[in-house]
Amino acid sequence: MAFLFVLSVFAENERDSFNKRFDSIYNNTVLQIVSSNLDRAEIIADSLYENSKNKIQKTKALMLKASVLGMQNKRLEAINYALRASKMADSESNQMWISITNRFLSKQYRLIGLTDCSEEYLKTAEKEALKVEDKTEADVCLGMLYQEKAYHNFAKKQFYKTIEFLKKSNNFFLQVEVDQPKNYFVGSNYVMIGRSFEQLIKYDSAQHYFNNSLKLLSKAGLKNSKHQGFVHHGKALIFLEEENYEAAKSELDKAKKIAESDNHKELIEVVYRDLSRFYKEVGSFNNYSLYHEKYLYIKDNNVKASKIAANAEVNRILKEQETSFSLLYWLVAGIVVLLFFSASLFFLQKKKFKKEQQLFNDFLLKDKSKIEEEKLISSNYKKQSKENGEDKKRNETRLMSIETENIILNKLKEFENQNEFIDHDLTLTKLSAKFNVNVKYLSSVINEHKKKDFNNYINQLRIHYIIEKIKTDPDYINYKISYLSVVGGFSSHSKFTSIFKKETGLTPSLFINQIKSRENKE
C-alpha cells in the first residue's frame, strides 16, 4: 500500500487546500488505517472518490479501494475497481499510474490462477514504468515491478530467483528519500526474502531477514499488518522444524491475532494449517481436529473465491470479444465497399504500371544504344586523329592540339572508370586542376565529345552509377532514396530525384520497383 503513499508525497508542491486535504486523508489511510481497519479504509476510499476533483484523484481513490478489497480476498471486486482506475490513467496518458494499475492487475490475476493474463499486465506495467521521467516515481514503479516478478517466482517455487528479484527491487526502493515508505518497501521485501530462505531450509538467513523486516515495518509505523503476520508465521515454521514448540506456539498466536483481526484470508489459511500441524505434533488431537477443520473450510472458501473471480474474468474477456465480433459484420460490409473501390484503383494502377514499365524498357534500350554510339564516336575520333595528326593547318585552327585533346579524353576515361564523379564537392575548376589542364580546354572537350556541358555530364555519370548499383547490388534496392542521393554525390534528395527522372523518365522509387518486378519474374 505504501507505493500509493509515496507517489502522492512527491506530487507537485503548489496545490490548493483541497488537494492538500485530499492527499492528507489519502496518505493517512494508506499507511495507518489500512493496516488496522480495512472496513474503515474502504469507507474512506469511497468518500475520496466521491469528492475527487480530477481523474488522477479518482484513480488514486479507486486503487485504494481495489487494494483494500484485494486484502479482503475479494478478487473480482478488486479487479473491477483496478480496471476502472486503469482506464482513467490511460485517458490521462499518465505512465506512472498506468504502470501501477497494471502491476496491481497482474498481481490479482496471478492470485486467481490466470497466469497468462497476469504476465500480459506485468509486461504493460514494465513498459510504462520505463517511460516515467520523474526519478522518484520511476524508482518506486520499478521497485514494485521487480517485487511482483519476485512473487511470480515464489509461486513457482523458484526461491533463489525470488530473492534475486527482491534484491533488485530494494535497489530501487533504497533511492526513495522519505524514510516511512522506504522502510515499508524494504521491510516488506525482507519478509519475502525471509520466507524464501525458510523454504530453502536456510533458517539462519531466514531469521535474519524476518527480524530486520519487523524493525523496518515498525519504523514505518505499521502495527499488526499482514506483512508482520507473515513474519510471525515464517518464524513459527522454523521453530516447528526445530521442534521448539513453545516458541512456535508464541509466533503462531501472534500471526493468528493479526490474521483474524482484519480477516486476512490468505494469512488465516496458512496459520490455521500450521496450528493444526502444531497441535498434532504436541499430541493435542482435539485442537488439531478443530484447526484442521477450520483450515479446510477457509481453504475451500479461498479456492471458491478464486474460481468465481477467474470464471467471471474469463466471461468478461469473452464478452468483450463478442462485442468485437458484433462489429465484424459492419467491418465486412465496409470491406466489400472498399473492395469495389480497390478493384477500380487496381485497374488504374495496373495501367499506370504498364506505362512505367514501358518507360523503363525504353530507357534500357536507349541506354544500350547510347553506350554503343559513344564507343563508335570514340573509335571514329581516334581514327580521324591518326589520319590528320600531321595536318599542321588543322592544328592551327583548333583551340588545342589533337595530342592535348587525346590526353584529356584519356584522363576523362580514367576519371569515369574510377567513379571519381561521385565527389560531392566536384567542380569544373577542381577537375581541370586535377587533370593539370586549362579549364577552357576541359570544357571544350566535354562539350564536343560528351555532347553536353560539365554539370549535365557529371549528373548523367552519377545517375548511371546509381542505376548500375541498383541493377547489380541487391542491397541498393532496399536503401532509402536519400541515402542513394548521398552515395551518388548529389547535394540533396530533391535534386537527385529530379535529375533521375529527367534521365530515365521515372522517379528513383518507380525505377527500383521495376527492377524488383523484373527480378521476381525471373
% of the chain with per-residue pLDDT over 70: 79
Angle at 467 between CA 466 and CA 469, to 5 degrees: 65
Domain boundary among 132, 152, 178: 132
Task: Write down the pLDDT at residue 345.
Answer: 60
| Cα angle 292, 199, 290; round to 5 | 10
* Integer Cα distance of 98 and 132 in angstroms: 10
Average pLDDT estimate for 20-42 = 76
Q: How confident is the model at residue 272 (pLDDT cuts 50, 70, 90)?
A: very high
* Alpha-carbon span 494 to 113, nearest angstrom: 59
Domain interval for residue 462? 452-522
Question: Does some domain include residue 221?
Answer: no
Q: Tell me: the pLDDT tens digits for 282-338?
A: 999 999 999 999 999 998 988 887 778 778 767 776 666 666 555 555 555 555 545
**469-515 pLDDT, tens per residue?**
888 888 888 888 888 998 889 988 899 999 999 888 888 888 888 88
Written as nine digits, the cell of 302 is: 479461498
Residue 357: per-residue pLDDT: 64
Asked if residue 219 is part of any domain, the answer here is no
- What pLDDT is stored for residue 7 in this prediction? 44
- Shared domain for 35 and 72, answered yes or no, is yes
Spatial separation of the C-alpha atoms in residues 121 and 118, rounded to whole Å: 5
What's the pLDDT score for residue 474? Answer: 83
d(CA 221, CA 60): 21
Mark whether 436 and 472 lie in a shared domain: no
* Burial class, 221, CB count within 10 angstroms (exposed 0-12 / middle 13-18 / buried 19+): middle
Per-residue pLDDT tens over the stretch 400-417: 888 989 999 999 999 999
pLDDT in tens, 441-454: 889 999 999 888 99
- Residues 437 and 462 reside in one and the same domain: no
pLDDT exceeds 50 at position 34:
yes
Q: Indicate the residue among 89, 110, 132 that finishes a domain.
A: 132
Confidence of residue 261 (pLDDT cuts 50, 70, 90): confident
- Cell of residue 259, nine digits: 490474521
Asked whether residue 22 falls in the same domain as residue 83, the answer is: yes
Residue 2 lies in a domain: yes
Distance, in Å, from the CA atom of 227 to the CA atom of 208, rounded to the nearest integer, reads 16
Query: CA 43, CA 140: separation in Å to the nearest integer?
Result: 27
Q: Which residue has the cell 560539365?
A: 454
Which of residues 354 and 383 earns the better pLDDT score?
354
Lowest mean pLDDT among 40-44, 196-200, 393-397, 436-440: 393-397
Q: Which of 132, 160, 181 is the last residue of a domain?
A: 132
Residue 72 placed within a domain:
yes
121-166 per-position pLDDT tens digit: 999 998 999 998 888 888 889 999 999 999 999 999 999 999 999 9
pLDDT for the residue numbered 375: 46
Is there a single domain that holds both residue 404 and residue 506?
no
> For a pLDDT cut of 90, what percent of the chain falls above it?
41
For residue 493, being part of any structural domain is answered with: yes
**Residue 109 pLDDT > 50, yes or no?**
yes
Q: Which long-range contacts (CB under 8 A, 24 or more apart) does 236-240 make?
A: 236/274, 236/278, 237/198, 237/274, 238/198, 238/203, 238/206, 238/207, 240/274, 240/277, 240/278, 240/281
DSSP 151-166: HHHHHTT-HHHHHHHH
Q: Indicate the DSSP class of residue 53.
A: -
Question: What's the grid cell of residue 133?
Answer: 521521467
Residue 58 and residue 2 in one domain: yes
Computed from CA positions of residues 486, 489, 491, 496, in that sequence, does the dihedral angle turn out positive or negative?
Answer: negative
Angstrom distance (rounded) from CA 283 to CA 274: 14
Is there a single domain that holds both residue 515 and residue 407?
A: no
- Residue 107's Cα: distance from chain center in Å? 21
4 and 30 Cβ atoms separated by less than 8 Å? yes
> Percentages helix, strand, coil for the chain, rounded to the nearest 5?
85, 0, 15
Half-sphere exposure for 70 (CA within 13 Å, toward CB): 23
User: How far apart, in Å, are the Cα atoms of 485 and each of 10, 20, 133, 195?
Assistant: 51, 60, 39, 64
Residue 24 lies in a domain: yes
Mean pLDDT score across all residues of the chain: 82
What's residue 450's pLDDT?
87
* Angle in degrees, 0-180, between the axes of helices 135-155 and 2-9, rounded to the nearest 10: 170
Comparing 263 with 99, which gets the higher pLDDT?
99
SS (HEC) of 220-233: CCCCCCHHHHHHHH
- Angle (CA) 59 65 69, round 5°: 140
Whether residue 388 has pLDDT greater than 50: no
pLDDT category at 87 given cuts 50, 70, 90 is very high
Sign of CA dihedral 242, 245, 250, 251: positive
* Range with the largest mean pLDDT of 76-80, 197-201, 418-422: 197-201
CATH number at residue 499: 1.10.10.60
Residue 68 has pLDDT above 80, yes or no: yes
Q: 72-76, 344-348, 428-432, 498-502 — which is least confidently predicted?
A: 344-348
Residues 117 and 30 in one domain: yes
pLDDT at residue 386, as a whole number: 47
Mean pLDDT (whole number) for 163-177: 93
DSSP output for 92-154: TT-HHHHHHHHHHHHHHHHHTT-HHHHHHHHHHHHHHHTT--SHHHHHHHHHHHHHHHHHHHH
Is 125 found in the same domain as 20?
yes
pLDDT given at position 12: 43
Q: Quick one: 431 and 465 in the same domain?
A: no
Give a yes or no: residue 505 inside a domain. Answer: yes
- How many independent structural domains does the chain possess? 3
Question: In which band, very low, low, confident or very high, does the pLDDT at 389 lie, cut at 50, 70 and 90?
Answer: very low
Query: Which residues, 6 or more positions from 183, have their beta carbon under 8 angstroms from its beta carbon?
Result: 216, 217, 219, 220
220 contacts 181 by C-beta, under 8 angstroms: yes
Residue 345, domain member (yes or no): no
Contacts of residue 495, Cβ cutoff 8 Å, sequence gap at least 6: 485
Residue 390: band (very low, low, confident or very high) from pLDDT cuts 50, 70, 90? very low
- Give the three-state DSSP class for 505: coil
- Mean pLDDT check: name the lowest of 355-364, 424-433, 511-520: 355-364
The verdict on 434 and 472 lying in the same domain is no
CATH number at residue 126: 1.25.40.10
Whether the full predicted model's pTM is greater than 0.85, yes or no, is: no
Q: Which amino acid is at 499?
A: I
Contact 189, 147 (CB under 8 A): yes
- Cell 583548333 appears where? 398
Question: Average pLDDT of 4-9?
Answer: 44
CB 511, CB 500: distance < 8 Å: yes
pLDDT tens digits, 193-249: 999 999 999 999 999 999 999 999 999 888 788 899 999 999 999 999 999 999 999
* Residue 241 Ramachandran class (φ > 0 left, ψ -120 to 50 alpha, else beta): alpha
Q: For residues 385 and 381, what is the distance between their CA atoms, to the nearest angstrom?
A: 6
Q: What is the pLDDT of residues 458-467, one digit of tens each?
A: 999 999 998 9
Give the pLDDT confidence score for residue 201 in this predicted structure: 95
If asked whether residues 427 and 490 sit together in one domain, one would say: no
